[in-house]
Structure 1
Amino acid sequence: MSELLDLAGILVFALSGALMGVRKRLDVVGMAVLASMTALGGGIMRDLILNVPPAAFQSLGYVLVPIAATAIVFFWHPQVARIMPLLLVLDAAGLGLFCAVGTEKALLYDLSPLHAALLGVTTAVGGGVLRDMLAGEIPTLLYDRQLYAVPAMLGSAAMAALFELDLHGWPAVLAAAVLAFGLRILAMKYGWRAPLASGVKPSE
């Protein structure tokens, strides 16, 4: 079940990466690279920091799903772009799932709650940072429009707190993921964003 949820999150992130490739007028190879980095980059960074073999290289599905997402966007990108509101909801679900799972994995490797939460955020947003950098964009993490990193931080913190309370397994992961998902959805609905420095007006 957990692997199916992982693959669903990977699919959504990969679709967003491939769509970025279309917007940047990249060829199919460039689209596949952005799709793969968006979907797998955060998890790979987490596992390298934990000094364990990346999960992305231990399951064929983790490699095939970004390729499938690239093919879908390559042939049907106008249709995929039209369902972007739905994809944003699924993206929020992937964000919540990845921050919770990443934090739990770090805790199981005996990291402190603070370091585990930071690694959970890395799992959730690291792929998007790599995508933006490869595409020549300022990473959205650095100007957190409609709160993306903040929900991941709170979801990761909740996962670490539950773990410290001896609440492990999928119920804890689900609770932390739902918290991050809910905050992300509310941020999209109400336009919440992280505060700017005093006296600085937001750009439109």
Structure 2
Amino acid sequence: MQRDSFIFYRSFYEGIKELPRDIQGEVLTAIMEYSLNGETTENLKPVAKAIFTLVKPQIDSNNQRFENGKKGGRPTKKKTEQKPNDNQTKTKPIPNVNDNVYVNVNDNVDDDVLIDVDELKKKYIKNEKLVNAFCDNNGISKNELFDGLEKFTKNLKDKNRFLEKEKEYVTYFKNWFVKKEKSSAKKESKTAAQAFKERIYGSSTN
């Protein structure tokens, strides 16, 4: 193997600069012969041989990289798209399935302000987006909603709750309405079951 050039590191120079000139010459000649021609210099003096022995692994490493470069370097690995195995599933965005989400009452509402409940009822009725959302989510008409608001507001005043925060009023009404509807459905179911039982077995007599 022959080369036209090689790398001479500062560490090589630092290692031999304090040596006598004749030893420096032996080391430099040995380095050049091995780096350029691949030949090892024989009969080196002990100190020169020791220095060359320390330098030789670095020269070998450089020569190996040189040979690899002549062959085109390391072959590049083909990138393969990793496919999920049978036990993996692709993450999909989870849709919002909360049917009780309502539009904001008023972005400018001050949550710390207490308002008369009758005034809150009027503001609720005038909020078309809120009304439509509530009716759609609960499957009721606007008249049924307005009737519910009337009863709910009266219920608050019966409990001496004449002032409420606007957003809390909306939340309290939603919870009150859902609870009332569940109670009503339970009563209707019980009544229907009783009527069915009477039709089958007849009404009880004393």
What TM-score results when the alignment is normalised by the length of structure 1? Answer: 0.27
State the structure with bigger RCO (CA 8 A, min sep 6), 1 or 2.
1
Rg: which structure is higher? 2
The structure carrying a bigger helix percent of its residues is: 1
- TM-score, normalised with respect to structure 2: 0.26
